[in-house]
Amino acid sequence: MITIYHNNRCSKSRTGLQILKNSGKPFEVVTYLEDVPSENELKNIISLLGIKPIELVRKNEAIWKEQYKETELSDADLISAMVKNPKLIERPIIINGKQAVIGRPPEKILDIL
Eight-class DSSP state of 10 = -
Q: Could you say which of 2, 3, 10, 20 is catalytic?
A: 10
N- to C-terminal Cα distance for the chain? 11
Q: How far is residue 16's CA from residue 23's CA, in Å, rounded to a whole number?
A: 11
Q: How far is residue 72's CA from residue 36's CA, in Å, rounded to a whole number?
A: 24
Please confirm, yes or no, whether 10 is among the known catalytic residues: yes
Q: What are phi and psi of 4, to 5 degrees?
A: -120, 130
Catalytic residues: 10
